[in-house]
Amino acid sequence: MAVNLLPPDPKALSPVAGVELGFAEAGIRRANRRDLMLMRLAPGSRVAGVFTQNSFAAAPVQLCRQRLAASGSFRALIVNAGNANCGTGDAGLAAARRTCEAVARAIGCDSGEVLPFSTGVILEDLPVERIETALPRCVASLAAAHWAEAAETIMTTDTVPKAASRSLHLDGTGVTVTGIAKGVGMLQPNMATMLAFVATDAAVSRALLDHLVREVADLSFNRVTVDGDTSTNDSFILIATGAAGAPEIGSERDPRYAALKSAVAAVAVELARAIARDGEGATKFITIDVHGARSGEEAVRVAKTVAHSPLVKTAFFASDPNLGRLLMAIGNAGVADLDTSRVDLYLGEVKVIAGGGRAASYREEDGARAMQPAEIAVRIELGRGDASATVWTCDFSYDYVKINAEYRT
């Protein structure tokens, strides 16, 4: 069902010096599938993250937040699919801690240097002993080349594994950025938690890495939406091992920062777009560009309001150029003092709304043609400023209802 999304070519995923990935079948929810992924990091690796805003943050999210507040250096990430360890109270926190302790014993580090992640069903106890049993196989399979396998291991309702890679030079030192993701958005469906892990072998100070992960999240995972819901486990983690050997980047003003940010953002955007392409029941991949806003925040708000509207999404599914729904959605974004007579809208190259009404040149058959492709660009001009933003989403089909109505059966 994914829209123009192929599994990653393992050869196109460059290893990141200082990162090894292992996987195993732990039988956490279902037998005979990989569901446990271990990422071992070279000593001195720095980690930063952003997490779900949901009040019911899962136990591993709570533990990650505590540990990232206390330290920026970590040796391992452990990720299980099949169980979210959420709504599990103190027992859930204990289970997450015990998982980290098992990893620490297995690879020889402090358990506080391990970060845990879970995705899957919620309100069920995490079967820690199955994780402990499977861990030795995870460790035995650790290899720098296992990014594609890692991407497959962390999937839940995903139909295609998601991974991306970029290489660049920073003052003559070759540096790699490689990442994997699963699930369907910081704003996402089906408790199919979004997890994303992006690593680079560049060296970045703790404070700057913390800044970078937020900047990149705002350009990528915070710009993708499937149905507007937000999971209890959503996490985006950025790792800088420093193993490429280049001097540490410690300031935004260091010219290498912009180059590295550009590569990290490229990987994150590719992963975020892959998430929308693989949205539940998706038949169309939709890019919404808003221009002429007074602020970036305003542009994002308009784009997301359009992207979230079930009426707009069903119109895309039906390939129906229903201009009224697009106008209605823009009008619902709560933009103060919006002069609707300055609003223009394009479907692909077709100008459909001019000055807040139907464009004089618009013909229904042109709109119908613009709604046919599997990838559609919507451009909205607000005519009130210079800010712009892009949001990615997918349509809303019978299969969305089917997938979500039958999820647990």
- Cα torsion 263, 269, 271, 276 to 10°: value is -170
Residue 383 as a binder of a second copy (CB under 8 A): the answer is no
Q: E strands within 31-156?
A: 36-41, 46-51, 76-83, 114-121
The number of beta carbons lying within 10 Å of the beta carbon of residue 299 is: 27
Helix (H, G, I), strand (E, B) or coil at 323: helix
The contact mask relative to a second copy for 163-202 (x = CB under 8 A, - = no) is --------------------------xxx-----------
Q: How far apart (Å, rounded) are the C-alpha atoms in residues 14 and 393?
A: 28
Helix (H) / strand (E) containing 255: helix 255-277
Q: How far apart (Å, rounded) are the C-alpha atoms in residues 303 and 236?
A: 22
Query: What phi and psi, each to the nearest 5 degrees, are found at residue 167?
Result: -125, 150
Measured distance between the N- and C-terminal CA atoms of the chain, rounded to whole angstroms: 20
Taking alpha carbons only, the member of 368, 379, 305, 298 closest to residue 337 is 298
Nearest distance in Å: CB 341, a second copy: 7
Q: Answer for the pair 182, 194: CB distance below 8 angstroms, yes or no.
A: yes
The contact mask relative to a second copy for 25-54 (x = CB under 8 A, - = no) is ----------------------------xx
Nearest distance in Å: CB 366, a second copy: 15
- Given candidates 248, 322, 351, 369, which one binds a second copy under the rule CB under 8 A? 322
Catalytic residue, chosen from 176, 193, 225, 305, is 193
Residue 323 as a binder of a second copy (CB under 8 A): the answer is yes
- Given candidates 357, 373, 374, 375, which one binds a second copy under the rule CB under 8 A? 357
Helix (H, G, I), strand (E, B) or coil at 408: coil
Nearest distance in Å: CB 271, a second copy: 22
- Given candidates 67, 146, 273, 308, which one binds a second copy under the rule CB under 8 A? 308
- Given candidates 333, 347, 391, 394, which one binds a second copy under the rule CB under 8 A? 333
Q: Which 197-236 residues touch a second copy, going by CB under 8 A?
A: 227-232
Across the strands, what pairs with 46? 73, 240
Residue 311 as a binder of a second copy (CB under 8 A): the answer is yes
Nearest distance in Å: CB 361, a second copy: 14
Nearest distance in Å: CB 309, a second copy: 5
Q: How far apart (Å, rounded) are the C-alpha atoms in residues 140 and 119?
A: 23
- Given candidates 341, 361, 363, 386, which one binds a second copy under the rule CB under 8 A? 341
Nearest distance in Å: CB 92, a second copy: 8
Residue 329 as a binder of a second copy (CB under 8 A): the answer is yes
Q: Which residues of 268-292 are buried (b: 16+ CB within 10 A; e: fewer)?
A: bbbbbbbbbbbbbbbbbbbbbbbbb
The number of beta carbons lying within 10 Å of the beta carbon of residue 79 is: 25
Q: Answer for the pair 312, 326: CB distance below 8 angstroms, yes or no.
A: yes
Q: Which residue has the tokens 């119109």?
A: 315
Q: Which 107-166 residues touch a second copy, going by CB under 8 A?
A: 121-123
Compare residues 124 and 215 and give the one whose CB is closer to a second copy.
124
Nearest distance in Å: CB 338, a second copy: 4
The contact mask relative to a second copy for 385-404 (x = CB under 8 A, - = no) is -----------xxx-xxx-x
Compare residues 213 and 327 and give the one whose CB is closer to a second copy.
327
Residue 325 as a binder of a second copy (CB under 8 A): the answer is yes
Q: Judged by CB under 8 A, which stretch of 10-18, 25-33, 100-108, 306-314 contacts a second copy?
A: 306-314
Residue 332 as a binder of a second copy (CB under 8 A): the answer is yes
Taking alpha carbons only, the member of 26, 3, 23, 56 closest to residue 283 is 3
Nearest distance in Å: CB 134, a second copy: 24
Q: Active-site residue 230, yes or no?
A: no
Instruction: Please give the order of strands across the beta sheet that includes 19-24.
Output: 19-24, 36-41, 76-83, 114-121
Q: Which residue has the tokens 């699930």?
A: 183
Compare residues 54 and 287 and give the one whose CB is closer to a second copy.
54
Residue 405 as a binder of a second copy (CB under 8 A): the answer is yes
Residue ranges binding a second copy (CB under 8 A): 53-57, 84, 86-89, 121-123, 189-191, 227-232, 308-311, 314-315, 317-318, 320, 322-325, 327-335, 338, 340-341, 353, 355-358, 396-398, 400-402, 404-409
Give the active site residues.
193
